[in-house]
Amino acid sequence: MADMDHRGAERGTDGGAPSGRRGTALVLGGGGLAGIGWEIGVLHGLAEAGADVCAADLVVGTSAGSVVGVQLSSGLLTLPELYERQLADPEGEVPAGMGPAVLARYVWGVLRSRDAEAYGARMGRLALSARTEPEEARRAVFAARLLTHEWPAARRLVVTAVDAVTGEFHAFDRESGVGLLDAVGASCAVPGVWPPVTIDGRRFIDGGVRSSTNADLAAGYGTVVIVAPISVGGGPVPSARAQAARLAAAGARVVLITPDRAARRAFGRNVLDPARRAPAARAGRAQAVAHADAVRAVLPV
């Protein structure tokens, strides 16, 4: 995957954004605690190699990517500091995992759903009926995890979620009127594992139910860098590769980065296991070297 990820998805070689397009978007996908560690490792490694994408005009965060997006956009810690946090003991993080019954519901939902909203509603029913820890307890985890509870003012951060009842997709930002803590909690509410998040009387679940990256939200930007711990899709859920290809076909200069073999080994079988965070971060930092040239080639001069 890695070879195509930084070659097959690119268009344009003039060193600038395509005609009529401007700005850089950074898309950060879902992938559990391992995904958080790996994304920060990749971004740190890219910056070390002279391909820093953290000053992007738009940051799109889905599930794990929403957490990384907040940490980057806050400006409160440097990338090396964020990376070191991933290597520390994951105190306060709650281990979790998906059992066979939950995984079977995901597969059945993909096969039986005609479109993304229908699939979202199916996953919403799973989430609403599951026995999980209380919503307030989960909220406290995110209150401690995030560096700030305020939307960034210097750039646009978009956090994705799905209505648990209707399956409708939502993209929250500072203009949405939704608090950042609730937006991120909703984006990370994995159906069947964590409780849906209540916002203005509605219940919301993981934005990854609609897409692992929701990279289509970067449409119109001249340069798009997608860091996707989970690259696959299926049925009504588009893959990261498919979304990257559509952006490229529309004229954007796109780089898609997905885990290499070493990173997948570091993730292990359970991306929700806090113990996988540090190995994934190290693997992401090591992998970034292979993508630095491709990222530098698409960044605006």
Q: Which of 5, 63, 74, 182 is catalytic?
A: 63
Mean pLDDT over 69-79 rounds to 96
* Catalytic residue status for 206: yes
Give Dmax over CA atoms of the chain in angstroms. 54
**First vs last C-alpha separation in the chain:** 27
Check pLDDT > 70 for residue 10. Answer: no
- Structural domain contains residue 137: yes
- Structural domain contains residue 57: yes
- Structural domain contains residue 243: yes
d(CA 283, CA 270): 16
d(CA 301, CA 58): 17
Check pLDDT > 70 for residue 95. Answer: yes
Q: Is the CB of residue 157 less than 8 Å from the CB of residue 59?
A: yes
pLDDT attached to residue 90: 86
Q: Is the CB of residue 61 less than 8 Å from the CB of residue 70?
A: yes
* Catalytic residue status for 52: no
Q: Is the CB of residue 197 less than 8 Å from the CB of residue 134?
A: no
d(CA 71, CA 67): 6
Q: Are strands 202-206 and 156-163 parallel, antiparallel or unpaired?
A: antiparallel
SS3 for 198?
strand
Q: Is the CB of residue 44 less than 8 Å from the CB of residue 79?
A: yes
Check pLDDT > 80 for residue 237. Answer: yes
Q: H helices within 50-194, ranges in order?
A: 64-74, 79-87, 100-112, 116-129, 135-145, 180-187
Integer Rg of the chain from CA: 18
Range of the domain at 78: 23-89+96-298
What total number of domains does the chain contain?
1
Listed residue (71, 27, 68) closest to 238, CA to CA: 27
Check pLDDT > 80 for residue 293. Answer: yes
The model's pLDDT over 140-183, given as tens digits with 9 standing for 90+, comes to 999 999 999 999 998 999 999 999 999 999 999 999 999 999 99
d(CA 241, CA 99): 27
Listed residue (55, 67, 1) closest to 28, CA to CA: 67
SS3 for 24?
strand
Check pLDDT > 70 for residue 7. Answer: no
If pLDDT is split at 50, 70 and 90, which confidence band does 18 have? very low
Beta strands in the chain, from DSSP E residues, in sequence order: 22-28, 58-61, 156-163, 169-172, 197-199, 202-206, 221-227, 253-257
- Structural domain contains residue 68: yes
- Structural domain contains residue 17: no
Q: Which of 206, 231, 239, 273 is catalytic?
A: 206
- Structural domain contains residue 13: no
CA distances from 246 to 10, 122, 212 (A): 11, 27, 15
pLDDT attached to residue 238: 96
- Structural domain contains residue 15: no
- The HSE-up count of residue 129 (CA atoms within 13 Å, CB side) is 9
d(CA 156, CA 55): 11
- Structural domain contains residue 3: no
Question: Which comes out higher in pLDDT, residue 16 or 157?
Answer: 157
d(CA 40, CA 78): 11
Listed residue (272, 273, 223) closest to 250, CA to CA: 223
